Amino acid sequence: MKLAFQLAYKNLIGSGLRTWLNVGVLSFAFVIMIFYNGLIDGWDQQAKIDSIAWEYGHGQFLEESYDPFDPFTLQDGHAEFEKNKIKGLSPILIRQATIYPDGRMLSVSLKGIDAQQKTLKLPTATLEKSDAFIPAVIGKRMAESAKLEEGDEVLLRWRDKNGTFDAANITIVDIFDCNVPNVDNGQVWVSIEKLWEITGMTNHATMLIASEDYVHEEMKGWNYSSQEDLLKELSDIIAMKKTSGSIMYGLLLAIALLAIFDTQVLSIFRRQKEIGTYIALGMTRWQVVGLFTVEGSMYSFLATLVGSAYGIPFFYYMATNGITMAANADDMGISIADVIYPVFGIGLIVGSIILVVISATIVSFLPARKIAKMNPVDALKGKLS
């Protein structure tokens, strides 16, 4: 085996430009593969961290008739809770409402949240500090779409517990910047005390967000979803994106492997005399098959080295400085930070190397098998077709 590696190395280096072209293409596929997976992993990590910090907390109770994917359940999807029984839980009451910025009408989710909560990163403390009648905080996206700025007042219309319309001005006291569209787009956050007051739904909540120190207990009339349950959907979306991305780098890898396959086929055809000479000098046919297979698979080793030469600085730069995402990237509905920092784990790198080496070995072996059936006399004469 050592001999095969020595000979393969000499043959590859001796082949000059042909070798380096194959190695270049393969190393590019290799770097792209690691980069893309690193990007998705970075996005995955960031999306999970942000979703926990801004939306999910450490678990959620949803009122049993409330379905977050069905807006028709909002009207009745709330229930009264006992304050002394919700230790470690922050209540959120969601109501439908309309705001009228610049005379336009915008449907919003009016969300009441405990101003003193610390579970979510929302800047709810500012709600307490304001003297406005209904202080509200909104996200950057919401502010942009409604053309609202800090300090602006805007008319809000809602229904109280009896279904009667009521309206008053709300004051935007803070605009937060977060990567989770679900807490930003079309959302207006007010103090839950104020929402109870203006709707008459005192002690009602649509959902209860668990803090880190919450100890789970079942509550009648409420459905609990753990953090893992909540993140599963996000993980599924990211896994789907990873799969679709793998088609792209799979194609790139296929092109590189096809180049190796072609090179091997051509090489075996052109080097018949050499093959015959190896056999005449005392190599078995399978040793020669091994030599050509190792030669092909060594493209992947060289590609690893070449890929490392420019990939490691590139990965380091990307992991340090991140990638700026397009402004409208979060229209996809899941959290995307303005800058994503790819994560290049050992598992990803070693896995990619193994995948490339095994693939290159297989595509090298396939044409090399032909050598085992070669007649050495014909090979020496270069007569094989």
Q: CB 18 → other proteins: shortest distance, Å?
A: 12
Q: Please report whether residue 287 would count as binding other proteins according to CB under 8 A.
A: yes
Paired residues of 89 in beta bridges:
210
Question: Of 157, 137, 133, 158, whose CA–CA distance to 149 is shortest?
Answer: 137
Q: Which stretch binds other proteins (CB under 8 A): 174-182, 195-203, 280-288, 337-345?
A: 280-288
Q: Figure out which of the listed residues 1, 247, 281, 326 binds other proteins, where binding follows CB under 8 A.
A: 281
Q: Which is nearer to other proteins, 4 or 230 (CB)?
A: 4
Q: Which stretch binds other proteins (CB under 8 A): 3-11, 62-70, 88-96, 356-364?
A: 3-11
Contact 6, 211 (CB under 8 A): no
Give Cβ neighbours of residue 77 (< 8 Å, ≥ 6 apart): 62, 63, 65, 66, 67, 94, 206
Q: Which is nearer to other proteins, 5 or 224 (CB)?
A: 5
Q: Figure out which of the listed residues 75, 284, 321, 324 binds other proteins, where binding follows CB under 8 A.
A: 284
Quick one: residue 111, left, alpha or beta (phi over 0 = left, psi -120 to 50 = alpha)?
beta
Size of the site for other proteins (CB under 8 A): 24
Question: Of 142, 62, 134, whose CA–CA distance to 109 is shortest?
Answer: 142
Pairing, β 106-113 against β 187-191: parallel
Q: CB 372 → other proteins: shortest distance, Å?
A: 9
> In this structure, which amino acid lies at residue 224?
Y
Q: Which stretch binds other proteins (CB under 8 A): 7-15, 55-63, 180-188, 230-238?
A: 7-15
Hey, what are 51's tokens? 């979703």
Paired residues of 340 in beta bridges:
323
Sign of CA dihedral 178, 181, 187, 192: negative
The label of the residue with tokens 């807006």 reads 71
Q: Please report whether residue 10 would count as binding other proteins according to CB under 8 A.
A: yes
Q: Figure out which of the listed residues 3, 49, 125, 255 binds other proteins, where binding follows CB under 8 A.
A: 3
Q: CB 376 → other proteins: shortest distance, Å?
A: 5
Enumerate residues 215-274 that contact other proteins by CB under 8 A: 273-274
> In this structure, which amino acid lies at residue 278?
Y
Q: CB 288 → other proteins: shortest distance, Å?
A: 10
Q: Please report whether residue 5 would count as binding other proteins according to CB under 8 A.
A: no
Rounded (10°) angle between helices 17-51 and 285-321:
40
Q: CB 5 → other proteins: shortest distance, Å?
A: 12
Q: Which is nearer to other proteins, 227 or 287 (CB)?
A: 287
Enumerate residues 354-383 that contact other proteins by CB under 8 A: 375-377, 380
Q: Figure out which of the listed residues 280, 305, 332, 354 binds other proteins, where binding follows CB under 8 A.
A: 280
Question: In angstroms, what CA-CA distances link 327 with 34, 112, 145?
Answer: 25, 29, 14
- For 279, half-sphere exposure in the C-beta direction (CA atoms, 13 angstrom radius) is 21
Q: CB 45 → other proteins: shortest distance, Å?
A: 47
Residues lying near other proteins in the complex (CB under 8 A) are found at 3, 6, 10-11, 13-15, 273-274, 276-277, 279-287, 375-377, 380
